[in-house]
Amino acid sequence: MAKNFVSNNDETVVMFKNPFLEKLSRIHWSVPLFMYIPVALFCLYRAIFTLQLSALYIIGLYFAGLFIWTFTEYVLHRFVFHAHLPGKLGGRISFIMHGVHHDYPKDSKRLVMVPTISIPLAVIFYALFYLIFGPSYTPAAFAGLLTGYLIYDMTHYAIHHYNTKSPFWLSLRQHHSIHHYSESDRGYGVSTKLWDHIFRTMFRKAKGAGIKQNIEV
C-alpha cells in the first residue's frame, strides 16, 4: 500500500510565516470543552428557567440538534474539508483546511477545530436555528448541536491518540483509519457511520489489520 501521509508521528509543519497566524492554527484538545460546555449549559438554562419549556420539548429539541450535527459533520467533512479548490490559492486553502491533517494525522495540536473556524460556524448555525426553530426553541436545539460538535471533536482526538478495548470505539477507529490510510474519498463520518451508510460512502472493500495499525498510538 502506498504511503499517503508525510508523518505518522505527533509532529506538524509550519503553515504560516506569521507567528501569530501560526499560533492560531494550533489548539489544545481541551479548548473546545472550556469554550462550548458553558454555552450549551446556558442555552439549557434559558430553555428551562427563562423560556420554561416542558421537559418533553427540551429533550426533543436537544436530540434534534444532536441529530442535525451528525449530518452537519458528514457534509462539512465530505464537501468542505475534502473540497479540492482550483488553482494555487485554492490548493493552499484546501491544505490549510484539512490537507495538513491528512499529511500529519497524529498532530495533536491540529485535531480539533480552532476557534477561528468554530466560532463563525457556531454563529451561523445559531442564526439558522433561530430561523428554523424560532426564538423559543432555538436554545435547547442549539445545546444539542454543540453537544454533537464536542462529541465529534473529542472522538476525533481520541481516535488518533488513545487506545480502547470497547468494540464501539474500535469500530469508529477502524472506520476513520481506513479513511486516512486507504480510501480518503469515503468514510466521512467520524462520530457516527450513519450518513456513510445512507449516502453509500462506506468503503469499497474490507481492509486488513495493517491499515488499523497506522492509527494506533
Kindly report the CA angle at 28 between 161 and 115, in degrees rounded to 5? Answer: 125
Give a yes or no: residue 179 inside a domain: no
User: Does residue 174 lie in a domain region?
Assistant: no
Domain count of the fold of the chain:
1
Give residue 120's pLDDT: 96
**DSSP for 136-189?**
TTHHHHHHHHHHHHHHHHHHHHHHHH-----HHHHHHHHHHHHHHHT-TTS---
The pLDDT, as a whole number, for residue 67 is 98
User: What count of other Cβ atoms lies within 10 Å of the Cβ of residue 159?
Assistant: 23
Q: Which domain holds residue 58?
A: 19-161
- Look at residue 209 and tell me if it is in a domain: no
User: From the first residue on, what is the mean pLDDT of each consecutive set of 10 residues in the chain (217 residues)?
Assistant: 73 90 93 98 98 97 98 96 89 88 91 94 97 97 98 95 88 94 94 97 69 48
Gap between the Cα atoms of 49 and 31, Å rounded: 28
Tell me, what's the pLDDT at 8? 85
Query: CA 99, CA 143: separation in Å to the nearest integer?
Result: 30
173/203 Cα distance (integer angstroms): 14
Q: Is 119 domain-assigned?
A: yes
pLDDT at position 205: 73
pLDDT at residue 213, as a whole number: 47
C-alpha to C-alpha distance for 39 and 33, rounded to whole angstroms: 10
Is 202 contained in some domain?
no
Type of residue numbered 7:
S
Q: Does 112 map to a domain?
A: yes
Residue 188 within any structural domain of the chain: no
CA distance 75 to 194: 12
Asked if the structure places residue 199 within a domain, the reply is no
| pLDDT value, residue 166 | 87
